[in-house]
Amino acid sequence: MQNQAEFLLVQTSCPDNDSAIVLAQRIIKEKVAACVNVLPPVTSIYEWKGEIKQDSEVLLLIKIQKCRYPDLQALICATHPYELPEVIAVPISEGLPEFLSWIRDETSVASTVTKV
């Protein structure tokens, strides 16, 4: 049985579906994550630079091995359209062992993130 804590669910949000799809495809192409779910638009309400904002955003849920997190964070920061992108990682404490093995198999390549 694998250590469940070696896997993360990471979320980030994009300003629109097109930028979300481009980012998701890049993450998968670079083998940083096994799967990226692109959710329908959500409404985000937040304060930015002293102003209350309300925007429509597209949420990405990204399944990765914990050891690939630095690569994922670097990729998001290098390619994301936001000045300060949301990058939040939550440990996966339980999961179907076969699914977790699939995540490991899909992301076990040495760091392959290319610079933009």
5 has a pLDDT exceeding 80: no
What is the predicted pLDDT for the residue at 116?
45
Please report, rounded to a whole number, the percentage of residues in the chain having pLDDT higher than 90. Answer: 87
For residue 33, give its domain range.
Answer: 4-107
Query: What one-character-per-residue DSSP string does the chain give?
Result: ---GGGEEEEEEEESSHHHHHHHHHHHHHTTS-SEEEEEEEEEEEEEETTEEEEEEEEEEEEEEEGGGHHHHHHHHHHH-SSSS---EEEE-----HHHHHHHHHHH-S---PPP-
What is the number of domains present in the chain?
Answer: 1
Domain CATH code at residue 58: 3.30.70.120
pLDDT of residue 111: 45
Its pTM stands at 0.88
Residue 116 lies in a domain: no
**30 assigned to some structural domain:** yes
